[in-house]
């Protein structure tokens, strides 16, 4: 079963093109962000310099990786429903939770490996391009390795969250809309709420958790946030919840 799911993933053109786009965007944004900061450093205010986070700047492109891996996670499941090939899959493997588990396992390995590789590449290239007197970061500094590793982990877990949404919705456009809405639109809506209501909610949103996890220091005026690994555990809970709900609906509904 694992071998068959791997064959499905690697033989579909959308998988390769999605991963290539993910790599180009992540590294490209890292290069653009660090080069821009290097040029602006002499004119930056004292406050901006004191709160400057070279690690976070290098990992800026990971937000685009999260979007792209979410699209791929949706396609891994919804494409089979769209083409009707899910019927053949379920005919060969009637145990539907096992089908979802194997899809999730294969996709998780691909997403996590790709996420970690791109996170480390973006960080290393970004630090090379940061020119003095702008400060640089090294993996041995406190919090830096956590931020780089955490960035890759977020990509994998958000991809699984998207796969879970696609299992429930079974429609590509609908699942992508739900994923993008959760990741990017919901934080904007929460910001419009009064601070007493919005800030407690914002702590638990995937976007804000990802920002905290890939940062070494907080910026001035940033609202309170969950600690990096507690926030990551919350995102893992979202992914598990989406997969469980998707699995239950997959068992109860017809193909």
Dump pLDDT digits (tens) for 28-65.
Answer: 999 998 888 888 888 888 877 888 889 999 999 999 99
HSE of 251, CA atoms in CB hemisphere, 13 A: 11
Average pLDDT in the chain = 90
**DSSP code for 139:** T
Dump pLDDT digits (tens) for 128-169.
Answer: 888 777 788 889 999 999 999 999 999 999 999 999 999 999
Residue 220 pLDDT: 42
What residues contact 117, with CB distance under 8 A and at least 6 apart? 152
Provide the percentage of residues in the chain whose pLDDT is more than 70: 97
**How many residues belong to the chain?**
255
Mean pLDDT value of segment 56-85:
92
Q: How confident is the model at residue 11 (pLDDT cuts 50, 70, 90)?
A: confident
> b/e string for 169-196 if b means 16 or more Cβ within 10 A?
bbebeebbebbeebbeebbeebeeeeee
Q: Which secondary structure element, helix H or strand E, spans residue 45, and what is its range?
A: none
Across 79-93, 143-157, 186-200, the highest mean pLDDT is recorded for: 143-157
> 62-83 vs 96-129: helix axis angle to the nearest 10?
150
Q: Is the entire prediction scored with pTM above 0.85?
A: yes
HSE of 45, CA atoms in CB hemisphere, 13 A: 4
Extents of the domains making up the chain: 2-252
Contact status, residue 151 vs residue 114, Cβ threshold 8 Å: no
């Amino acid at each position: 079963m694992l071998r068959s799911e791997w064959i499905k993933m690697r033989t579909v053109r959308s998988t390769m093109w999605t991963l290539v786009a993910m790599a180009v965007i992540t590294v490209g944004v890292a290069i653009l962000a660090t080069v821009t900061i290097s040029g602006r450093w002499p004119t930056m205010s004292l406050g901006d310099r004191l709160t400057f986070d070279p690690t976070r700047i290098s990992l800026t492109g990971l937000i685009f990786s999260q979007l792209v891996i979410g699209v791929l996670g949706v396609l891994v499941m919804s494409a089979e429903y769209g083409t009707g090939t899910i019927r053949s899959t379920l005919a060969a493997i009637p145990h539907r939770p096992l089908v979802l588990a194997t899809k999730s396992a294969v996709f998780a390995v691909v997403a996590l490996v790709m996420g970690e590789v791109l996170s480390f590449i973006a960080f290393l290239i970004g630090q090379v391009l940061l020119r003095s007197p702008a400060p640089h970061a090294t993996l041995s500094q406190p919090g830096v390795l956590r931020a780089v590793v955490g960035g890759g982990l977020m990509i994998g877990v958000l991809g699984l969250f998207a796969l879970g949404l696609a299992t429930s919705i079974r429609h590509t456009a609908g699942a992508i809309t739900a994923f993008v809405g959760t990741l990017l639109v919901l934080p904007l809506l929460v910001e419009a709420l009064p601070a007493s209501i919005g800030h407690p909610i914002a702590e638990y949103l995937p976007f804000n958790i990802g920002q905290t996890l890939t940062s070494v220091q907080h910026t001035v005026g940033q609202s309170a946030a969950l600690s990096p690994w507690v926030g990551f555990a919350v995102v893992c809970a979202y992914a598990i919840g989406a997969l469980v709900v998707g699995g239950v609906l997959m068992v109860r509904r017809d193909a």
